[in-house]
Structure 1
Amino acid sequence: MADIEHIQYVRKPVDAVYAALSTQEGLGAVWTEKLVVKPEVGFINEFDFSDNYDTKFRNVELTPPTRILWECVQSDPEWIGTSVSFDLETRNDMTAVTLRHMGWREVTEFYRFCNYNWGQFLYSLKLYLETGKGQPYQQRQF
C-alpha cells in the first residue's frame, strides 16, 4: 500500500484552520464550490468536481481543533476505501497542517496526479486563510 503525505504552514490559529477544513464554507472556498458538508461524525460529505457529486467521504473522526479523518465511500475506484486525515498542530505563530491520503493499493498515474493536487489543495487552504481567497476546483486551470 502507498500513502500521500504533505505538510503546509498557515499563519492562522488552529481553530480557524480546523473550521476551514470541516465546514461547507471553508471547503467551498478551498476545494470545490459545489459541495454538501456537515461537521458531524458519520455524515457523508459530497463534493462535485464536474462529476455530479460523485466524490463522497464519511466523517470518521472530528476532534476539534486538531484532527479530521475521512473515509472515501464513493469516487474514482482508486479512492474507494482510502482515508484522508488532517492533523493540526500549533507551532509558534502558525498552524502546521499534515495531510495524509492513506491506503492506496498501488502507485499509479492517478496516484501521482492526486499527490500533486493535494499539494495544490494545501496551497489553496493557505491562500484562503491568509488572504481571504482560495483556489477551489472551479477557479483553477488544469
Structure 2
Amino acid sequence: MDIVHRVGIKAPVSAVYEALSTITGLAGWWTTTTTGRPEVGGTISFRFFLETGAEIGGFDMEVLEQVRNEKVRWRVKGGPAEWVGTDIEFLLSRQDEHTVVMFAHRQWREEVEFTAHCSTKWATFLLSLRDLLETGQGRPAPHDLRIGNWH
C-alpha cells in the first residue's frame, strides 16, 4: 500500500528542493518543531504539538537520498508502528511554470483507517508546502489544517 500525491508549485525547482532538504524549509511547511541533520545518513526529527502545547506525536526519518533539485528520500525509523520501516519520497520536475512534486509514502503494511487519515494529512501538508513557496507563508503544525478528531 502506497500513498501518492502530485502538486504543482509556481516556484523554482531549487526553492522547492530547499524547502524539502533543510531544517528551516521543512519547519516552514510540515511542523515548526523540526530538528536534526538533513544530509544523507543523518536523522531528522519531526514533533507535532497542538496549539495548546500538548504533544500529539512525532517521527524520526533517516535521510536515504538527496539529489539536488531532483529527489529527497527518507526512511521512517521512529513514530507510529504503521510508519516505521516505510519510505517517503519527493521527486521534482519542471513542467511549464510549475515545479511538480510527485510525493509517495511507500510500503505501508496494510490499508487501514490511519492510512486514509495520513493520506489526507499529507495532502494538506503538500498544499502547505505550495503556499510557503508561492506566498511566503505555509501552514506547519501546530497551525495546520485540522481534518477531524485525530487532528
Corresponding position of 2:18: 19
List gaps (5 residues or longer) in structure 2. Answer: 50-54, 147-151
Equivalent position of 2:123 in the other structure: 119
Root-mean-square deviation over aligned CA pairs: 1.3
Q: Once the 2 structures are TM-superposed, how far is the Cα of residue 38 of structure 1 from its aligned partner?
A: 2.9
1:13-92 alignment runs, 5 A limit = 13-50=12-49, 51=55, 54-92=58-96
Residue 139 in structure 1 maps to residue 143 in structure 2: yes
Q: Mark the CA change 1:92 to 1:141 in structure 2 (over 3 Å): closer, same or farther.
A: closer
The normalised TM-score by structure 1 is: 0.95
Q: In the TM superposition, what is the alpha-carbon distance from 1:52 to its structure 2 partner?
A: 8.0
The aligned amino acid for 2:43 is: I
Alpha-carbon distance in 1 for matches of 2:145, 2:121: 12
User: Contact 2:125–2:144 at 8 Å: present in 1 too?
Assistant: no
Kindly indicate whether the alpha-carbon contact (under 8 Å) linking 2:64 and 2:74 is maintained by their aligned counterparts in 1: yes
Is the 1:42–1:60 Cα contact (8 Å) retained in structure 2?
yes
How many residues are matched? 141
TM-score by length of 2: 0.89
% identical equivalent positions: 35
* 1:93 shift after superposition: 1.4
Judge conservation of contact 2:3–2:105 (CA < 8 Å) in 1.
yes
More helix by percentage: 1
